[in-house]
């Protein structure tokens, strides 16, 4: 029987997950299809019922359904509960749906691939949405010393204390400061930071602020690592600014592929073919950019 893995989100047509997940399934000869299910708000309970069918292995969950998926799943691991969101559902025996969050592993592996050490370092994080919660958990797991968070809406940054302080690992010292590069606290934190992370949607291709970066080049210094969660374009305005100042730019594609690889491992029980997944992800992004250029000309 050909099995199915679904991607639940709205919209999902832009996602490159089907391209690299299907490439991985095909490379290992797994008889399964990875399908994007566009799931408008309100349809999530029905979609989860469909996932209970024995023909389903599980699902990825993306914006805006990660919170609801966690709430509706039958069980959840500590990572998903700590973050308050699920990006992966695994169908277990008798149709039981188990929720987890592989974004945390995605952040950790992407930074490890780029040889960024977290133990004892000071970090600045710009943004405090859903993805930022996974970043905070990853920094804590990696033993980072302190984190300064700046976000347009300060209350959301304050809410990250829950992730920084809950659980068994030693707490991560977290400070919140205004998202104002002219002000002292953010400047001072940036000067001390070994790693600067961007997790807002600024600079995302086809987003409302495609050309924007929250930090100009004079906020970075040589030797710093600058990690942007945005993965399209490959060189975002944030990464461009970081590179211009001599910092080391790290794009978001590594996180995307690694979170998907961890989900793949959970659905199939197989070692994910990372090289195949990265190659297919890059090809899918390049194809999408080609289509976008054609439609503009």
Chain residues binding ligand NAP by CB under 6 A are 63, 103, 106, 127-132, 151-153, 156, 199-202, 204, 209, 229-231, 252, 255-256, 259
Residues 13-50 as b/e (b if ≥16 CB within 10 A, e otherwise) read eebbbbbbbbbbbeeeebebebebbebeeeebeebbee
Is residue 201 packed enough to be buried (19+ CB in 10 Å), middle (13-18) or exposed (0-12)? middle
Structure token digits, residue 97? 């749906």
Is residue 187 packed enough to be buried (19+ CB in 10 Å), middle (13-18) or exposed (0-12)? middle
Nearest CB to ligand NAP, comparing residues 67 and 283: 67
**φ and ψ of 130, to 5 deg:** -60, -45
Q: How many CB atoms lie within 10 A of CB 67?
A: 15
Nearest CB to ligand NAP, comparing residues 249 and 252: 252
Catalytic-labelled residue, pool 66, 91, 198, 258: 66
Taking the complex as a whole, how short is the minimal distance between the CB of residue 57 and ligand NAP, in angstroms?
Answer: 21
Taking the complex as a whole, how short is the minimal distance between the CB of residue 93 and ligand NAP, in angstroms?
Answer: 30
Nearest CB to ligand NAP, comparing residues 52 and 154: 154
Taking the complex as a whole, how short is the minimal distance between the CB of residue 91 and ligand NAP, in angstroms?
Answer: 23
Do residues 84 and 41 touch, judged by C-beta distance below 8 A? no
> CA 284 to CA 278: how far, in whole Å?
10
- With CB atoms as reference, the residue minimizing the distance to ligand NAP is 129
Do residues 87 and 61 touch, judged by C-beta distance below 8 A? yes
Q: Is 296 a catalytic residue?
A: no
Nearest CB to ligand NAP, comparing residues 132 and 144: 132
Structure token digits, residue 120? 């004892």
Q: How many helices (H) and strands (E) does the chain have?
A: 12, 12
Nearest CB to ligand NAP, comparing residues 76 and 149: 149
Taking the complex as a whole, how short is the minimal distance between the CB of residue 222 and ligand NAP, in angstroms?
Answer: 25
What amino acid positions are annotated as catalytic residues? 66
């Amino acid at each position: 029987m050909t099995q199915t893995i679904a991607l639940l989100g709205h919209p999902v047509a832009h996602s490159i997950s089907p391209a690299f997940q299907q490439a991985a399934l095909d490379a290992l000869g797994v008889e399964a299809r990875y399908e994007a299910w566009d799931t408008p708000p309100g349809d999530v309970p029905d979609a989860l019922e469909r996932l209970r069918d024995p023909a389903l292995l599980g699902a990825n969950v993306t914006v805006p359904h990660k919170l609801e998926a966690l709430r509706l799943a039958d069980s959840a691991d500590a990572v998903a509960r700590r973050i308050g969101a699920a990006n992966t559902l695994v169908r277990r025996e008798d149709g039981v749906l188990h929720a987890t969050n592989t974004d945390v592993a995605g952040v950790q592996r992407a930074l490890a691939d780029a040889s960024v050490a977290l133990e004892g370092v000071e970090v600045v994080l710009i943004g405090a949405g859903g993805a930022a919660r996974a970043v905070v958990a990853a920094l804590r797991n990696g033993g980072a010393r302190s984190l300064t968070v700046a976000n347009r809406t300060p209350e959301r940054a304050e809410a990250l204390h829950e992730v920084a302080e809950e659980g068994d690992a030693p707490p991560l010292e977290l400070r919140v400061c205004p998202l104002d590069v002219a002000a002292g606290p953010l400047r001072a934190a940036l000067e001390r930071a070994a790693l600067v992370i961007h997790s807002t949607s600024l600079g995302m291709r086809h987003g409302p602020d495609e050309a924007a970066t929250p930090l100009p080049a004079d906020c970075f210094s040589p030797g710093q690592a600058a990690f942007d969660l945005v993965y399209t374009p490959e060189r975002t305005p944030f990464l461009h600014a970081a590179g211009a100042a001599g910092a080391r730019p790290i794009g978001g594609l590594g996180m995307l592929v690694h979170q998907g690889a961890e989900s793949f491992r959970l659905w199939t029980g197989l070692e994910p073919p990372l090289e195949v997944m990265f190659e297919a992800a890059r090809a899918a992004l390049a194809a999408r950019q080609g289509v976008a250029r054609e439609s503009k000309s």
